[in-house]
Amino acid sequence: MADSSATPALPFLVRHEFLIRRLHSLSGLIPVGAFMCVHLLVNSSVLNSPETFQNNVYGIHALGKLLPIVEWVFIFIPLLFHMAVGIMIAAGGMPNTQAYPYGANIRYTLQRATGIIAAVFIMYHVFHMHGWFHFDGWLSMAESVGGHKFRPYNASSTAGAALQNPVILVLYAIGIIASVFHLANGLWTMGITWGVWTRPAAQKNALVVCSAFGVLLGIVGLSALAGMYNVGKGEAYQAAIEAENRMYEARVEAGSVQPNEHKRIEERGTRSEE
């Protein structure tokens, strides 16, 4: 006969809370946070010139067929894990047994709020620029509802054209600010969680460093956004397309790029002058 006084089995999330939280914390820094820094820095290269940004995109796409594997293994899967666990924590789906180790309750609330904003923004951003999945039928559907705007061989012109709607531009600015705050504040809290800075003085100094990092990264991200927007209109847009097409033709002729009209503006989704 079963013992009715036996303690019921604890839910999976409760039993493995420590490990899940540590993995959630770690994934927010490596690779998700590291990728976001690289992504914003690469995007900011458009401030130098559309050609500089296009060269960086060519460098990324030099991975060829390995690129989707690298993206999923090192970016999307860790990102989806971080998002899922973060949403469970914010929604109360995981027990909050750990006392908040510092008194800045405003930052604690903002960390959760910006995490949700960043998650929604990232999902929209990937759909808006890339369409999520690279299947012809799916991409046609995505394009019909305003997605899949980016073409890697016309990188700055297509990214800039996709940002010309003022509402989308504001949403991107909010998303970048939320993502940067979430990373910078998360870096500080991660240092406490992992015991990197435990004393009040060390935590105070770390807060200054993390805040400065957040401000600088935010400037980089918003500057990149402004640079892309400026390339996407008027004469700058036409000049960018011409430069990108010259680069494409030269690389195809040199054999460093295989012809692929699906990655160019002519094959799919063009933008007329506004």
Contact 51, 231 (CB under 8 A): no
The DSSP secondary-structure symbol of 88 reads H
- The pLDDT of residue 127 is 95
Contact 178, 121 (CB under 8 A): yes
Choice between 70 and 9, residue whose per-residue pLDDT is larger: 70
The yes-or-no verdict on residue 52 having pLDDT over 90 is yes
- Write the pLDDT tens digit of every residue in 113-169: 899 999 999 999 999 999 888 888 888 898 889 999 999 999 999 999 999 999 999
The yes-or-no verdict on residue 273 having pLDDT over 50 is no
- The pLDDT of residue 240 is 95
> What residue ranges define each of the domains in the chain, with the CATH number in brackets?
14-263 (1.20.1300.10)
Q: What is the chain's mean pLDDT, rounded? A: 86
Cα-based distances in Å from 273 to 103, 164, 238, 243: 53, 11, 9, 17
